[in-house]
C-alpha cells in the first residue's frame, strides 16, 4: 500500500497532559504528539468511509519522558452507540512499540496490553484507554473508529489520569485518587496474536471496503460473544 500523506496534524502540547500526570506539580511544554484524523488514499475510499461512518486516523508519538513518566495520550472513554453499548476502537502498531492501558468504566478490570509493530489491539465496549510509548523510539499507530461519537476526556482529567501510572524507571504505581479496591494491573502480551473472526485479520487500511470485518465499530452490541474471545480475556 502506498503511504498516506501525513499533513495538517492536530498537535497535542505537553502542557495539555498536565491534568493527567502523576506529579501534580509537573510543569512542561512543547509538542507531545500529533494526530492525523480522517485519512484516506483516494476518493472511493473516502466515500466508503463516510457512508459507513468510519474514520481512519494515524497518531505519531515521539519517545520522551515527561516528569518521570513515559509519554502517553490523555486517555478517553467512548460514548454509547444507539444499541446501548459503548463504541469500540481498534489500533494497529505501524512502527515502534506501545502499551495500551485499558480500564473498565466500573473499574472492575484494568489491563496493560503490550504491542509492537504489526499487532492489532481492539478496545472493547466499556473500556477507557491510554496509549503509552515506553521507549525512546517514535511510536506510529493507526486506528479505525466510528465517526458517530466524540471522545470523553473529562473522566481521566477529574482523576488526574488513569488508575495506574507507568514511570520510565520501571515503577508502576496506583493512582491514589482511585478507590483502594481497584484490581491489580492485569498484563497481557499480544505479540503476533490474531483477533478472532470476524474482526480484522490484517493491516487496518486494507479493511476499508470490508463491511463484515468493520461492522462492530458502529454495532458493538452485536459482537458480545466475540469480545470475550479476545486475547485480553483468555
Q: What is the pLDDT of residues 194-203, one digit of tens each?
A: 999 999 999 9
The mean per-residue pLDDT over the stretch 197-226 comes to 97
pLDDT recorded at residue 1:
65
Domain ranges of the chain: 10-233
Quick check: 125 and 87 in contact, CB under 8 A? yes
What is the per-residue pLDDT across 72-98, written as a single tens digit (0 to 9) for each? 999 999 999 999 999 999 999 999 999
> Region 187-200: what's the mean pLDDT?
97
CB 76 within 8 A of CB 156: yes
Pick the CATH number of 10-233 from 2.60.120.10, 2.102.10.10, 1.10.20.10, 3.30.429.10: 2.60.120.10
| Total-model pTM | 0.96
70 φ, ψ (degrees, to nearest 5): -60, 145
One DSSP character per residue, 145-184 reads EETT---B-HHHHHTTS-SEEEBTTS-EEE-TTS-TTPPP
Average pLDDT rounded to a whole number, residues 162-181: 97
pLDDT for 113 equals 98
Amino acid at each position: 500500500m502506498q503511504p498516506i500523506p501525513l499533513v495538517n496534524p492536530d498537535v497535542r502540547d505537553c502542557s495539555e497532559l498536565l491534568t493527567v500526570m502523576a506529579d501534580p506539580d509537573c510543569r512542561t511544554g512543547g509538542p507531545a504528539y500529533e494526530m492525523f484524523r480522517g485519512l484516506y488514499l483516494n476518493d472511493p475510499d473516502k466515500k466508503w468511509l463516510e457512508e459507513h461512518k468510519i474514520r481512519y486516523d494515524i497518531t505519531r508519538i515521539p519517545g520522551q519522558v515527561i516528569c518521570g513518566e513515559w509519554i502517553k495520550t490523555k486517555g478517553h472513554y467512548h460514548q454509547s452507540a444507539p444499541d446501548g453499548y459503548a463504541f469500540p476502537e481498534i489500533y494497529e502498531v505501524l512502527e515502534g512499540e506501545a502499551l495500551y492501558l485499558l480500564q473498565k468504566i466500573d473499574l472492575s478490570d484494568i489491563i496493560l496490553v503490550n504491542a509492537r509493530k504489526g499487532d492489532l489491539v481492539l478496545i472493547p465496549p466499556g473500556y477507557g484507554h491510554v496509549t503509552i510509548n515506553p521507549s525512546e523510539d517514535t511510536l506510529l499507530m493507526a486506528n479505525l473508529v466510528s465517526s458517530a461519537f466524540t471522545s470523553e476526556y473529562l473522566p481521566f482529567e477529574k482523576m488526574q489520569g488513569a488508575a495506574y501510572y507507568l514511570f520510565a524507571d520501571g515503577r508502576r504505581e496506583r493512582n491514589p485518587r482511585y478507590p483502594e479496591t481497584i484490581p491489580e494491573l492485569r498484563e497481557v502480551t499480544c505479540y503476533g496474536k490474531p483477533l478472532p473472526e470476524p474482526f480484522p485479520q490484517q493491516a487496518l487500511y486494507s479493511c476499508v471496503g470490508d463491511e463484515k470485518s468493520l461492522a462492530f465499530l458502529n454495532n458493538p452490541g452485536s459482537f458480545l460473544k466475540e469480545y470475550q474471545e479476545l486475547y485480553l480475556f483468555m
